[in-house]
Every structure is written in C-alpha cells, then in structure tokens.
C-alpha cells in the first residue's frame, strides 16, 4: 500500500525531501539556542567572579539572533515545502484514481459502489494529504529533536540527563497505552463515516423521491442516527486521548522537581553552573514535548492507514474488461449471435442471472423483448456492447466474438439507450453531441426529429440551446427519454438498443418514434425492450424472457398461437377487461 501511494508523489519528490531537511535544520538551530543561553548566563552574567562580561553577552546574543533567524527561515521553508508536497500528492492521487475509475467496467463499479468511490476520492485523500504533511514535517523532526536534545543534555550533565532518560521511557509507555486504546475507537469512527456518507449520498440524490413520499422525517432520523454514532465514537476516543495532557504535565513537573532538587545540590557542590541548569530545563520541555508530538504523528499515521488502503484498492483495481492484443476495429454488420450464454453478476456465487441463451439475430432485424421485471432483459442486452462479459458461452456481433473487438469501436457501433438514463448539465446540443462530438446542428435536429423530440425542444424559449440542469431535472421523464434516443441515434450505430426507453412517452408518440426509426434506419438492428405489447408487436421477432431464460422467440402471431405468457400479457393489455397494465412501466 505504501508503495502504491509513494509512487504518486512523482513530480513532488523534491519538496518531499526538502521538507524533512528544513525541519531537521530547524531542530539543530533550536537545540543550540539553550546551550548559548546557558553559556551567556555562566560566563556573561556571572562572569569569573560575578562581575559580568558585557562583550560576551553581546557576542552570544548576536549568535542567538542568527540562530533564531535560521530556525525561523528553515521552519517557514519546511512548512511551505510540506504543503506543496502534500497537496501535490493529493492532486496526483485524485487524478490517477479518477482516470482509473474511468476505465472501470460496470462490474468494477458495482464492487465499490458510487458512494464508496466518492468517499475515497474526497475524505480519504484529504486524510492522506494531512498525514503526509504531518509525516514530512514531524516524523523526522520530533525524534531527531528529541535525540539531539538528549545528547546535548548528556554533554551538559550526565546525572541529570539520566533523569530525562527515565522520564522519556515513562512517558513513552504511558503515551503508547493511551494511543493504542484511542486507535481502537478512531478506526471505528472511519467505518461509521462510510455509513454517514452513504446515507447522505443516497438521500440527497433521491431528494425528490423522499419529498414525494413525505419521508423527510424518517430520513432525518436516519441521518441523526448515523451522525450520532460518529459523535459517540469520537467522544469515546477523545475521552482516552484527553489523558495525554495530564500525563505529560505530570511527567514534566515531576522531572522538574527532581532536576531542581538534584540541580540545586549539584550547583551548591559546584558540579553544575546555574547557566547549565537553565539549559537543562529548556531541554526538558523540548524532549517531552517532542515525544508527545511523535505520539500524535503515530496515531495520525495509523489512522490514515485505513484511508490509504481504500485509496490503494481503487488505484490497483484493474478493469475486468480489457481490449485484446490485436483488436478488431470494424463491426461488419449488426447481426448478433448468443451461443449457450450464461451470465452472473457475482462470479462463483451460485445462481445465474441468464441461463443457456441461444439466439441468432440477423442484421437489420427489429427484435422486441418482453418479460416481467427482474426477468433479466436489461442483463441480456448489457452483454451485447460488453458492459459485462458473459460468464459462459459465446456472444458474437457482426460474426466476431465481442471480446475480440476494441471496446471503443464496439460501443460506438452498439448504441444503448439505458433504462436509467442520465443527461448531463449543459445545453441540449451539448448533450446530443455526447453521441457524436462532430455532429452538425443539422444532424442534431434530424436525430431529434426521428426521436420525436423536435416539437418540444423548439417550444422552449432557447430551443436547442436550453440548459439542462444536472441529472436532467428540468425536463420531464418522457422528454428526457426522447433526448436520450436522439443522442443514441447520432452515433449512427449498426445496432441500437432501447431498454424501456419509451416507457414515459404516450402510446401515440411511441408509435410515431418506431415508425420513423423503421423508415430512417432500416439497416440498423433494433432491440426494443418494452412493457407494452403495442411497442413490440410489429417487431420482426419477439423474445419472451422469463427468469433469465428465453421462454419464446418468434413473431407476434406465432407467439400468440403458442406462448402462454405472451398470450396472457396480450390479453390483459388489450382485452375488454384490460387492467391498464400498460401503465405499469410508466414514468420511472
Ligand atoms: N448490477 C447488478 N448486480 C447484481 N445483480 C444485478 C445487477 N443488475 C441486476 N441484477 C439482478 O439481475 C436480475 C435481472 O435484472 P435485470 O436484468 O435488470 O431485469 P429486467 O431488466 O428484466 O427487469 C435481477 O434479479 C437483479 O436483481
Ligand atoms: Mg431492466
């Protein structure tokens, strides 16, 4: 994991090296200052016979000013380099994660969930950024400073330095116990953050549904619960961490009492100068303070390890779908063959979503697909443009196995209007050109004409330049579906798939769209998934899906004659006692 993350420091390795160097310089300057102060008191103020030596004081004062400026400058530089390096790392991580996510297949995305990916891109990266900055600035500075101060104390007086050593060991053990306990709670906090993010993401995304079902109170409760859990965990963790300060103070004051007592004795017996005692006091604060700082760095690093792991998972995730070595770039025609195809979303976990599918579809045919919700209609068509790979069997498009195509070429030739379609913020033109970036205004209008979208678009005050809000919330469901159809048509594909794409369009417009498609693109293979028999009955052939299997495949007449399911659905939708079933697939 560390290796993966470190690789992304890349062009920020210079500041990453300079930061600890500056911090160590600062330590060196800082540690010499108390020494000078001691000397100043010993030789400057007290002098040989308590007369004082002004020249010596001025000389030492001068050196101390230079040291302070040195410490200040290296401290500032260290902070600047540290920020540059850590922000740079965060930038690189986000960019590389984002690029890798773009290459993910649908099954990769299923694995992480959208909420999970967003948390990893935002909160987790911020954690790593803070931890990295802390690491560069403190992880070297604190121990170096501590050891240096300890070393200097030994130079001044061995007996007193021994007291420091004992105090340091005592405090280290105390801090370690506290931090190990706190870590337990802190890592739980991070797990709870995931819950919180999921609740927020889900409900903000679905805010319209929440309002429509008057579930605001319930959803607020859910959030309160998630936030409350984090609160509880944090309080627990802080209750442990809070002992840091008393422990530190206790050790420091006890040490000081000891030093004062011993020191006084030593001074009286002229083993120690007053100036030296002063120096030792300063080092005392220095050593114990740094130890405390180091324990914080330690906790911070162990905590961010969880974030690092989550980031590394995204960075190291290989797309399950890859282009073959020598891909085929041309899709010859729009024929599709399924040969003994089985498919499951989770490999090796029991039940297949699709079972033993055998279909032979000629180029240019119009194929209707009908079946209850969950009968795997969407799963069936998502294999054709390789959003998922078949688990068993073989699927050919244009006579070539889909795995042999370059994915880009295949998807350019197989256009899908997905059941859950999304428009992006931007003008209608912008959205249409997702289908084909080079499409002229004329071509865009033509596609909209075919999709019966021109009427309503032209009635907008800004026409084709109307801005679509994020997620397409300012157009109706039926309008959105028609813009999506036009967008798919602009690709001029060999195969076009409509997954319940006209469910929110009225029956008459639905018929008009089908008629204009039949006339305008006769050579294109069309798959039409629908809930309404009327949407598929004039297709060349119709597939009846049931529980992941093909229950019937034939023309409307054939199926009416010998397919029970088809007959039932037909009768329920057209008979005298039609129960308005055709509305079932209505606006989603
Ligand atoms: N991304 C997915 N991950 C796991 N299971 C899925 C996924 N999408 C659909 N399924 C499951 O596959 C089955 C078929 O779903 P689907 O193809 O969407 O049916 P339909 O389009 O006919 O309503 C359902 O049982 C559904 O729960
Ligand atoms: Mg579906």
pLDDT digits (tens, 9 = 90+) for 436-487: 889 999 999 999 999 999 999 999 999 999 999 887 888 888 899 999 999 9
Span from the CA of 358 to the centroid of ligand 1 (angstroms): 19
**Is 15 within the bounds of a domain?**
yes
By most ligand atoms within 8 Å of CB, the mutation choice from 108, 341, 346, 378 for ligand 1 is 378
Residues 308 and 341 in one domain: no
* Residue 579 scores a pLDDT above 60: no
Residues of the chain with pLDDT > 70, as a percent, come to: 96
Contact predicate 29/66, CB 8 Å: no
By most ligand atoms within 8 Å of CB, the mutation choice from 353, 388, 544, 565 for ligand 1 is 353
Please report, for the domain that includes residue 107, its CATH number: 1.20.1560.10
Tally the domains of the chain.
2
Three-class SS of residue 339?
strand
Residue nearest to atom 5 of ligand 1 (CA): 345
**Is 410 within the bounds of a domain?**
yes
Torsions phi, psi of 263, nearest 5? -55, -45
Q: What is the pLDDT, as a whole number, of residue 581?
A: 45
* Residue 544 scores a pLDDT above 90: yes
Residue nearest to atom 6 of ligand 1 (CA): 345
**Is 387 within the bounds of a domain?**
yes
Structural domain for 81, as ranges: 2-316
Q: Which of 116, 512, 81, 156 has its CA nearest to residue 310? A: 116
Q: Among the residues of 50-156, which ranges form H helices?
A: 54-102, 106-112, 114-119, 125-134, 141-156
**Is 328 within the bounds of a domain?**
no
Span from the CA of 356 to the centroid of ligand 1 (angstroms): 17
Distance separating alpha carbons of residues 18 and 77, to the nearest angstrom: 9
Nearest ligand to the CA atom of 109: 1
Residues 257 and 361 in one domain: no
Residues 199 and 301 in one domain: yes
Dihedral over Cα of 438, 442, 447, 453: its sign: positive
Give 367-414 pLDDT, tens digit per residue.
Answer: 999 998 889 999 999 999 898 999 999 999 999 999 999 988 999 999
Q: What is the pLDDT, as a whole number, of residue 457?
A: 92
Residues 237 and 356 in one domain: no
Residues 283 and 354 in one domain: no
**Is 26 within the bounds of a domain?**
yes
Q: What is the pLDDT, as a whole number, of residue 78?
A: 94
By most ligand atoms within 8 Å of CB, the mutation choice from 379, 501, 529, 543 for ligand 1 is 379
Last residue of a domain, one of 261, 284, 316: 316
Residues 557 and 461 in one domain: yes
Distance separating alpha carbons of residues 464 and 83, to the nearest angstrom: 46
Residues 192 and 278 in one domain: yes
Nearest ligand to the CA atom of 376: 1
Mean pLDDT score, 328-353: 89
Cβ-based neighbours of 285, under 8 Å, separated by 6 or more: 252
* Lowest pLDDT segment from 178-192, 270-284, 319-333, 573-587: 573-587
Residues of the chain with pLDDT > 90, as a percent, come to: 40
CB atoms closer than 10 angstroms to residue 467: 12
Give, for 544, the enclosing helix (H) or strand (E).
strand 541-546
Residue nearest to atom 3 of ligand 1 (CA): 345
Enumerate residues lining ligand 1, CB below 6 A.
110, 345, 353, 371, 373-379
Last residue of a domain, one of 281, 316, 351: 316
Q: What is the pLDDT, as a whole number, of residue 110?
A: 81
Residues 343 and 239 in one domain: no
Nearest ligand to the CA atom of 498: 2
Burial class (CB in 10 A: 0-12, 13-18, 19+), 483: buried
Give 37-62 pLDDT, tens digit per residue.
Answer: 888 888 888 766 667 788 888 998 99
Give 241-266 pLDDT, tens digit per residue.
Answer: 888 888 888 988 898 898 889 888 98
Q: What is the pLDDT, as a whole number, of residue 148?
A: 84
Distance separating alpha carbons of residues 14 and 60, to the nearest angstrom: 35
Span from the CA of 72 to the centroid of ligand 2 (angstroms): 65
* Lowest pLDDT segment from 84-88, 304-308, 494-498: 304-308
Residue nearest to atom 2 of ligand 1 (CA): 345
* Residue 588 scores a pLDDT above 50: no
Distance separating alpha carbons of residues 583 and 349, to the nearest angstrom: 35
Please give the mean pLDDT across all residues of the chain: 87
By most ligand atoms within 8 Å of CB, the mutation choice from 104, 343, 345 for ligand 1 is 345
Residues 306 and 355 in one domain: no
Span from the CA of 243 to the centroid of ligand 1 (angstroms): 53
Burial class (CB in 10 A: 0-12, 13-18, 19+), 439: buried
Span from the CA of 379 to the centroid of ligand 1 (angstroms): 6
Span from the CA of 376 to the centroid of ligand 2 (angstroms): 7
Q: What is the pLDDT, as a whole number, of residue 116?
A: 80
**Is 507 within the bounds of a domain?**
yes
Cβ-based neighbours of 203, under 8 Å, separated by 6 or more: 210, 219, 222, 223
Span from the CA of 579 to the centroid of ligand 1 (angstroms): 26
Residue nearest to atom 25 of ligand 1 (CA): 374
Atom number of ligand 1 nearest to Cα 376: 17
Give 65-94 pLDDT, tens digit per residue.
Answer: 999 999 999 999 999 999 999 999 999 999
Atom number of ligand 1 nearest to Cα 382: 17
Question: What is the DSSP code (8-state) at residue 74?
Answer: H
Cβ-based neighbours of 52, under 8 Å, separated by 6 or more: 44, 45, 46
Q: What is the pLDDT, as a whole number, of residue 453?
A: 92
Q: What is the pLDDT, as a whole number, of residue 586?
A: 39
* Lowest pLDDT segment from 109-118, 369-378, 508-517, 573-582: 573-582
Q: What is the pLDDT, as a whole number, of residue 178?
A: 86
CB atoms closer than 10 angstroms to residue 394: 13
Which tokens hold the place of 51? 């007369």
Residue nearest to atom 9 of ligand 1 (CA): 379
Q: What is the pLDDT, as a whole number, of residue 49?
A: 66
Q: What is the pLDDT, as a whole number, of residue 582?
A: 44
Span from the CA of 529 to the centroid of ligand 2 (angstroms): 8
* Lowest pLDDT segment from 291-300, 421-430, 521-530: 291-300
Mean pLDDT score, 168-179: 87
CB atoms closer than 10 angstroms to residue 454: 19
Residues 148 and 76 in one domain: yes
Residues 379 and 445 in one domain: yes
**Is 329 within the bounds of a domain?**
no
Q: Is the pTM of this model over 0.75?
A: no
**Is 400 within the bounds of a domain?**
yes
Q: What is the pLDDT, as a whole number, of residue 576?
A: 52
* Cα-to-chain-centroid distance, residue 524: 39
Please report, for the domain that includes residue 514, its CATH number: 3.40.50.300
Span from the CA of 584 to the centroid of ligand 1 (angstroms): 18
Residues 436 and 561 in one domain: yes
Span from the CA of 422 to the centroid of ligand 1 (angstroms): 19
């Amino acid at each position: 994991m560390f290796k993966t993350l470190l690789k992304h420091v890349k062009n920020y390795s210079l500041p990453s090296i300079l930061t600890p160097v500056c911090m160590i310089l600062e330590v060196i300057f800082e540690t010499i200052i108390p020494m000078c102060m001691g000397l100043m008191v010993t030789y400057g103020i007290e002098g040989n016979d308590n007369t004082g030596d002004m020249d010596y004081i001025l000389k030492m004062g001068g050196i101390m000013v230079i040291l302070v400026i040195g410490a200040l400058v290296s401290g500032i530089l260290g902070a600047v380099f540290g920020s540059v390096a850590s922000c740079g790392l965060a930038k690189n991580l986000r960019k590389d994660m984002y690029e890798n996510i773009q290459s993910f297949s649908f099954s990769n995305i299923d694995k992480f969930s959208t909420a999970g990916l967003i948390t990893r891109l935002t909160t987790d990266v911020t954690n790593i950024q803070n931890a990295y900055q802390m690491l560069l600035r403190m992880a070297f500075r604190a121990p170096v400073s501590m050891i240096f101060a300890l070393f200097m104390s030994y130079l001044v007086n061995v007996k007193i330095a021994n007291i420091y050593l004992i105090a340091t060991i005592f405090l280290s053990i105390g801090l370690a116990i506290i931090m190990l306990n706190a870590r337990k709670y802190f890592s739980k906090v991070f797990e709870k953050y995931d819950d919180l993010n999921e609740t927020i993401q889900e409900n903000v995304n679905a805010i319209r549904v929440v309002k429509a079902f008057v579930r605001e109170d319930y959803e607020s409760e859910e959030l309160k619960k998630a936030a409350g859990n984090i609160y509880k965990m944090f309080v627990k963790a802080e209750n442990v961490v809070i002992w840091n300060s008393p422990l530190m103070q206790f050790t420091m004051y006890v040490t000081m009492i000891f030093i004062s007592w011993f020191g006084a004795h030593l001074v009286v017996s002229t083993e120690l100068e007053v100036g030296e005692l002063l120096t030792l006091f300063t080092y005392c604060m220095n050593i114990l303070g740094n130890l405390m700082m180091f324990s914080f760095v330690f906790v911070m690093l162990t905590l961010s390890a969880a974030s690092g792991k989550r980031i590394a998972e995204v960075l190291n995730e290989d797309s399950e779908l890859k282009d073959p070595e020598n891909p085929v770039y041309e899709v010859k025609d729009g024929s599709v063959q399924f040969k003994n195809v089985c498919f499951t979303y989770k490999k090796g976990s029991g039940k297949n979503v699709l079972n033993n599918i055998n279909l032979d579809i000629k180029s240019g045919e119009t194929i209707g697909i009908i079946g209850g919700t969950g009968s795997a209609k969407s799963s069936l068509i998502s294999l054709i443009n390789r959003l998922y790979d078949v688990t068993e069997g073989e699927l050919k498009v244009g006579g070539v196995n889909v795995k042999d195509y370059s994915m880009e070429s295949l998807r350019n030739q197989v256009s899908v209007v997905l059941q859950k379609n999304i428009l992006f913020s931007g003008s209608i033109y912008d959205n249409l050109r997702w289908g084909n970036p080079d499409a002229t205004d004329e071509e865009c209008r033509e596609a909209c004409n075919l999709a019966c979208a021109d009427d309503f678009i032209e009635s907008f005050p800004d026409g084709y330049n109307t801005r679509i809000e994020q997620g397409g919330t300012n157009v109706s469901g039926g309008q959105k579906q028609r813009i999506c159809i036009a967008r798919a048509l602009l690709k001029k594909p060999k195969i076009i798939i409509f997954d319940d794409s006209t469910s929110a369009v009225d029956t008459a417009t639905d018929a008009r769209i089908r008629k204009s498609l039949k006339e305008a693109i006769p050579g294109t293979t069309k798959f039409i998934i629908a809930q309404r028999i009327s949407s598929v009955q004039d297709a060349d052939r119709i597939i009846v899906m049931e529980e992941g299997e093909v229950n019937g495949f034939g023309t409307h007449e054939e199926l009416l004659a010998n397919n029970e399911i088809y007959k039932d659905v037909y009768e329920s939708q057209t008979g005298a006692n039609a129960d308005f079933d055709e509305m079932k697939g209505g606006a989603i």
